[in-house]
Amino acid sequence: MTSRLLPGLLLTISPLGLLAASPASAAQPGTAAQQPPAPTTASAAPEDQSATSPESTIVVTGTRRTDRTIADSPVPIDVIGSEALASSGLGETNKILNNLVPSFNFPQPSIADGTDVIRPASLRGLAPDQTLVLVNGKRRHVSSLLNINGTVGRGSTAVDLNNIPGLAIDRIEVLRDGASSQYGSDAIAGVINVRLRKSPRGGKAQVSYGKYITQLEDVPQLLSLQDVGGTAVVSTTDSRVLVGNYGSDRKVRDGALLTLGANIGVPLAGGYLNVTGEFRDRDATNRAGFDVRPNYIRPTAAVDPRELSFNRLNFRLGDPKTRDVNLIANAAVPIGADGFEVYSFATFADRKGRSAANYRQQSSVNNRDFSTITPSTTPSNANFTALTPDGFLPEIASRYKDWAAALGVRGALAGWNVDLSGVYGHNQIDYRTENSLNTSYGTTSIRNFDSGGLRFNQFTANLDVSREFNAGFSKPLSVAFGAEYRRDNFKERPGQRESYAAGPLFIAPVATTAANCTTLGGVYATATGICSFPGRAAPFGAQGFPGIPDYARLSKSRSSKAAYVELDTDPLPGLTTTIAGRVEDYSDFGSTANGKVALRYEFIPAIAIRGSVSTGFRAPSLQQQYYTGFSTNFINGLPVDIVTFPVSSAVSSALGAKPLKPEKSTNVSAGLTLNPLRGLTVTADYFHIKLKDRIVLTENLGAFGSGTSAQNTAVQAILTANNLSGFGAARFFINGLDTTTSGLDAVGTYRWKWDGLGSWSLSAAYNRTKNRIDRRLNALGPLAQIPGLVLFGRVEGIRFEQGQPRDKVVLSADGNVGKFGVTARTTRFGRVISPGAAAPLINTTSVTDYGPDDLVLQPKWISDLELRYSVGPVQLAAGANNLFDVYPTRRPFGPRPTTVGGSYPIDAYYIPYSGFSPFGFNGRFLYGRVSIDF
């Protein structure tokens, strides 16, 4: 496992540390050290413990003891068994966890560039990169993708759990408590430990197939446009759209998902080799509404006759098309005669994805041929010439590869358990932008672009040492210590020049003389001395996904060294204590020390209280420090080209950026555990997490919706001064917030077995989480003279505080009666606010008031059902996810109420659902599965 070292002061003052400091003290008569446990090879306990009780399920997350169970853990832990992971047709580990773990959130955004294919998840309402993911207790590398668009997890990197299929997993342990001092400085929200299968014999093969059979909610089918004399009619209530004839809500059959998988275990020289392979082929889904905007240019008020025959379902909103190949291997072999073993595990993932950007209309500036007008001519409808006859839908084709390999040796040495390991992980993403064009090249533009790629590599070496001593306590004293070395590397690979460059139809404004401006063919402004070229203002970069520019090429590395110590015992009957600490030194941020104390006291049998206090530290990722990239965001339905700069760039410095500092956290939790009846366990835990200097991505500075006209003008002036006048906005990372996250987790589980009625497990879980911004650290620097400018403003603030469900309830029942099995589950996702760009109507500069386009996503219940029948080794299953075909609240469209005035964003017509929906917006999924054990 990853490691931490207890600061010397903590070791000195701790009575447990005094007793443990000298191994000789444990060797006194009557206090002989206990023998270490045998290595976990083929003789290990049965893998599937999903049906066992919390009193007997051993956990390895949250402690380095070998006998700690869920029931006597001083910190809250969820254990998801392999059967629970298999009882779903969703095919993605993140989606399954979203329906099982109440504090886990996995929205499924669309039209969000790379985030469509690699979607981030969060724990306890914190950022995806504030949860540490382990595989077999070893740190898992994050994705190279930085989520920079308007989604939950904006500005963070995340581990892609979908690389590890459920068939390869023995179980998942979710530690819902700060654990920076035990596992990693970034384990602020908690730890997710994926334990791979290690069976030395037998296996399972399965095939599943399903698709969405659904009817969209509040999205009626467009039958035709209203036709008067061979011409479409403009709406009298909303002049932005054409009048349509509609039927009932649109019915859809799409998103077919085929999954083929097999797991097999074989003995290997007295140990085991367990291998899993999975192939997953998913078709795209589309939940877009109909785009009833006039598509063709209108030189006059007349509507183009082609509008009547144009395909109005021109957007794609939903899951991208993906094809995945995943391979997992897990092995261990005894060596020598001293109980040592060599172990290894490896993962490989290859994913091809294809998602869509926003549709570019025929009349769009992105589709204009600027070569037909002179540099000094102002573009108008009258002089418009289209590059493509009907517009185009850019597609983003991604090739994603991920692999990791671990090699280690563990065993008993001089009475100590010793584990020495090394893990290397690599993630890469390459992009192609297809069916697109670079408008600034006009008719000579190519249509398909290599848009560049990202790389992230991580090497981690660990030494973990542990031993138990009979120190006169109620239970032996477990002493663990170790060290860790880690090296990270992040790279950006530029795309081909045409994917990002400005072609001949874009000329930036220049400061010059009137005579020279005339020579250049521009328009001279005497008041400013600026020569502009309105007829050479073509957007540049590949439409939909601009390429990574050559000046963004980089390879940046850093290293860290850490050491930890952990002490765990029951000093008195019923009193459990864990004390841990860690020191860590980063090559770019210096040193930090973190500690943790966790207690559990069972004051009467079956009733206990527990709590913990811990500190944490998270250094900014290499991606947050160095990433440079372009993207096109649609704000209120209008395209805005945005550039993300590293904090060290001249533009970021001019906008007030400063070198990033690490985040620091304090985590306090307190809870109660009850075991009043055999098989019944109830836990309730309160948590309170304070974060200082939280790293966030700024607003899209300079874009409509991020500030006043004067503020945006000032930002645009800085972009122009840095030869970036073609971009509509800029953003960068800042230590922008001090925050508090607090909430409650409650879980109840009851397991029983009745003769004739089979075995059953009932569970109820509840989570309530509140994120609060305590302080905005608005260090404006050079922009301080602009009144009211906020780097992290209203939209991002609402996304942070209310962009995830305030509460979540999971009720489930799982049973087996003879050859029949059933799993029934219903999950209530609480209220979410999806912020719009428009400012509040009254207090227009408020960073907390709601605006007229902010959408309340109402609470929804999502129900799943699976039925199973087993005949010998063969099992047949059929089920439904989102059985009752529930959709999130539909975005309002058209004119706003007269008391508000104006109109809702135009994109609400054709993008009916918000990407903030915590359960997505795909509707009912029906599936069947056949599996065979051998």
Q: How far is Cα 24 from Cα 212, in angstroms, rounded to an integer?
A: 65
Range 383-411 burial, b when 16+ CB lie within 10 A, else e: ebebbeeebbbbbbbbebebbbebebbbb
Domains identified in the chain and CATH numbers: 8-42+55-357+372-380+390-503+538-933 (2.40.170.20)
Name the pLDDT band for 378 (thresholds 50, 70, 90).
Answer: very high
Query: Which residues 6+ apart lie within 8 Å of 519 measured at CB?
Result: none
The token duo for 229 is 């004399």
Q: How far is Cα 900 from Cα 894, in angstroms, rounded to an integer?
A: 13
Beta strand extents in 820-894 (DSSP E only): 820-829, 832-834, 855-857, 860-871, 874-881
Burial of residue 878 (number of CB atoms within 10 Å: 0-12, 13-18, 19+): middle
* 769 pLDDT more than 80: yes
Which of 13, 75, 70 minimizes the C-alpha distance to 667? 75
Judge if pTM exceeds 0.85. yes
Q: What is the DSSP letter of 168?
A: G
In this prediction, residue 819 carries a pLDDT of: 94
Q: How far is Cα 601 from Cα 573, in angstroms, rounded to an integer?
A: 9
Q: How far is Cα 498 from Cα 929, in angstroms, rounded to an integer?
A: 46
In this prediction, residue 111 carries a pLDDT of: 72
Q: How far is Cα 700 from Cα 154, in angstroms, rounded to an integer?
A: 12
In this prediction, residue 24 carries a pLDDT of: 35
In this prediction, residue 50 carries a pLDDT of: 40
Cβ 447 vs Cβ 436: under 8 Å = yes
Cβ 392 vs Cβ 358: under 8 Å = no
Q: What is the DSSP letter of 498?
A: G
Q: What is the pLDDT averaged over residues 305-319?
A: 96
Q: What is the DSSP letter of 85?
A: H
Q: How far is Cα 349 from Cα 354, in angstroms, rounded to an integer?
A: 16
Cβ 84 vs Cβ 814: under 8 Å = yes
Cβ 260 vs Cβ 279: under 8 Å = yes
User: What is the rounded average pLDDT for all residues in the chain?
Assistant: 87
Q: What is the pLDDT averaged over residues 603-621?
A: 92
- pLDDT tens-digit readout, 456-475: 999 999 999 999 999 899 99
Which has the minimum average pLDDT: 172-181, 454-463, 604-613?
172-181
- pLDDT tens-digit readout, 19-46: 333 333 333 333 333 333 333 333 333 3
Per-residue three-class SS string for 627-669 = CCEEEEEEECCEEEEEEECCCCCHHHHHCCCCCCCCEEEEEEE
Question: Measured between alpha carbons, how far is residue 806 from residues 59, 769, 832 in Å?
Answer: 29, 5, 7
